[in-house]
Amino acid sequence: MKNKEKLNKQKPEKKKRLPVGRTIANTVFALKQVWHVSHSYFIIYFVNTILYAPLNFLSSTYLLSVIVDGVKNNKPVEGIAAFIAFIAVWSIGMELFSGVYWSIISPGNQDKVANYVRIKLSQKAASADLSCYETPSFFDKYVKAMDEANDRIYRVMGSVDNLIWRVTYISLSSFLLFTIDPWLILFMLFPLLMGIFRRMERKLGHEYITSQKPINRKQDYVRRTFYQSDYSKEMRIGNMYVRMLRVYRDSFYEFRDLTRKYGFKTAILSYLQNFGLEVVTIVGALTYAVYKTVVLKELTIGDCIIVLNAVGGVSYNLNNLLQNIAEFGEHALYIDDMRYFLDYEPKIKEDEKAPKANGGDIVVDNVTFRYEGAEKDTLKGVSMRIRKGEKIALVGLNGSGKTTLVKMLLRFYDPKSGSISLDGKDIKEYRLSSYRESYSCVFQDFHMFSLPVVENVTLRKRREGDEELVENALKESGGYDKIMSLENGVNTTLTKEFDENGANLSVGEQQKVSLARIFADDSPFIILDEPSSALDPIAEHKMFENMMRASEGRSVIFISHRLSSAVSADRIYLMDDGVIAEEGTHSELMKKNGKYANMFCLQAKNYVGKEAEA
Ligand code: ADP
């Protein structure tokens, strides 16, 4: 099944327990990440475990049995003393080792592992198909995987560590009990039956956390509307902040309902486990041992003391072992989310062996496209040719499919049918990164990063010579005077989020910075999607003049509402409900006296009207 389909079909609330094979595979996956980050850390961790594992048994139950045996059989006291000294040296050595391990070795490595996983997740997110961003479960999975990256892998290591030393303790103690009376083992096995309740409890826990994610996402969203400047104006007019607070408050009720739903069930399951363990195992085994000693006289007092000591230890560890095993089930569910995300293969992906793109004519041939979940096609058999160096204007009413066509050109989506080719070759055959690099784009919903202006323009880490390049580009886009008036010029950080000396620019100023992107490189294609919506008509006119001059030899595809900017285009395509309704030069289309001419006259009238009013 395709990953995307899986993303959609999965209902997190109903997530099932994973099969044992998958649980083991996920545990191995987690351990492999640690091994990958640091072999030495991995080895030290488990050497510590293996050295520590028998100590618990030797220093408690076995030591007692050595003493009882020594007293019963009149053994020399030196032998017992030597054994005690041996255990003491071992314990002290382990304590010293653990001290160094927990305070020095572990913390740094734990962070390294978390970072390694987080970086891998971020890289995956960056390569995910754009369509994933339209799927809410994609965000939930991503957020969950990121949250878990902090310590889940480390917790898997902890569980493996516990498993090793508990199994060691239980095996050795059970063997000792078995030599005293084999029937005692039956009591020890009872807690295994309680495992069923424990698994149910763990599964509920995972469901509970998974169900919280969409509510968390909602709350995060509301919090953002309160502090992000994007929302600041709308939040102050009308009653939006009251509305948002209500969404926030409702989400608290949702949390409360969830807690009620899961809390009661969890409490019952927990009670059943404790009852089984404490009443049946411990009290049962002790009664049996005392009966055999006092009534039947089949056990010696010494054996009875060892049984009393061992039963508690074995039961306690068996109980924890079951919890421990159930933990693997829980870890596996979370690791599965992480792996699911990491294993996600984008449909549109990089092929490093594919040839690089080098410009040329673009031919859009009968392209049809439908968004996932949409009921009808957004593009219906669109065809066009963009010749090298040509300036193309895409015009049409809102929702007619202009931006969608641009997204197809950039290969954010692939067509349902038809094809797009560059220089005679289907664009799917080019190396994706190189193909996309052949475009300079400015989108209507452009975003500034909290980074210096220079990096916001080049959209890459600063290289030598970038400052001059960006200053020149800003001159062309009209943003130069504003940016150079700032104390640090092109080195000014945008927004004050991380830098109190940063600059908050107006939307128009930001648009000029983003427009500088097209002047700062010489990629063969320029895409401008409503690039001048926040510019005044004079700034827009100037920007277009500059763009036409600076883009000589480069193909330009621009979408604009203001048809006045389409006049100078070599070719105009008018889109209407997903089809190219008209195409030609401005004068051809005016002569045709169709939809374009109609729209143009209407807009012109508006302008003239406004001027007259003024
Ligand atoms: P334009 O750029 O001409 O305003 P768009 O290409 O943005 O038009 O949108 C064309 C149609 O596709 C619209 O009806 C819009 O609602 C729909 N659409 C755009 N993006 C998506 C999406 N991600 N999922 C579903 N439908 C979408």
**595-610 confidence digits (pLDDT tens):** 999 988 887 766 554 4
How far apart are the C-alpha atoms of 203 and 16, rounded to whole Å? 8
The pLDDT value given to residue 524: 93
Q: What is the pLDDT of residues 437-458, one digit of tens each?
A: 899 888 877 788 888 999 999 8
Three-class SS string for 125-188?
Answer: HHHCCHHHHHCHHHHHHHHHHHHHHCCHHHHHHHHHHHHHHHHHHHHHHHHHHHHHCCCHHHHH
CA pair distance 572, 553, nearest whole angstrom: 18
- 396 Cβ closer than 6 Å to some ligand 1 atom: yes
560 Cβ below 6 A of ligand 1: no
Structure tokens at 182: 């084999």
The reply to whether the predicted model has a pTM over 0.85 is no
Alpha carbon nearest to ligand 1 atom 5, residue: 401
Q: Which of 369, 403, 559, 595 to mutate to test the pocket of ligand 1 (most atoms within 8 A of CB)?
A: 403
267, pLDDT greater than 50: yes
Q: What is the mean pLDDT of residues 518-547?
A: 78
Q: What single letter denotes the amino acid at residue 138?
A: F
Residues 146-190 pLDDT 10s: 888 878 998 999 999 999 989 998 899 889 889 988 988 888 777
pLDDT of 197 over the 90 cut: no
Give 523 or 243, the one with higher predicted confidence: 523
**Burial status of residue 227 (CB atoms within 10 A of its CB: 0-12, 13-18, 19 or more):** exposed
- For residue 200, pLDDT over 60 is answered with yes
Token pair for 68? 């009882």
Pick from 27-31, 114-118, 132-136, 246-250 the range whose average pLDDT is largest. Answer: 27-31
Q: What's the rounded mean pLDDT across residues 237-266?
A: 86
Nearest CA owner, ligand 1 atom 26:
371
pLDDT value, residue 12: 42
CA of 370 to the centre of ligand 1 (A): 10
Tell whether ligand 1 has an atom less than 6 A from the beta carbon of residue 133: no
SS3 463: coil
Cβ 416 vs Cβ 377: under 8 Å: yes
Q: What's the pLDDT at 22?
A: 93
- pLDDT averaged over every residue in the chain: 85
Which of these ranges, 67-81, 524-538, 584-598, has the smallest mean pLDDT? 524-538
Q: What is the pLDDT of residue 13?
A: 42
Most informative mutation of 132, 378, 410 for ligand 1 (most atoms within 8 A of CB): 378
The pLDDT of residue 378 is 96
Domains by residue range for the chain, with CATH = 20-342 (1.20.1560.10), 449-522 (3.40.50.300)
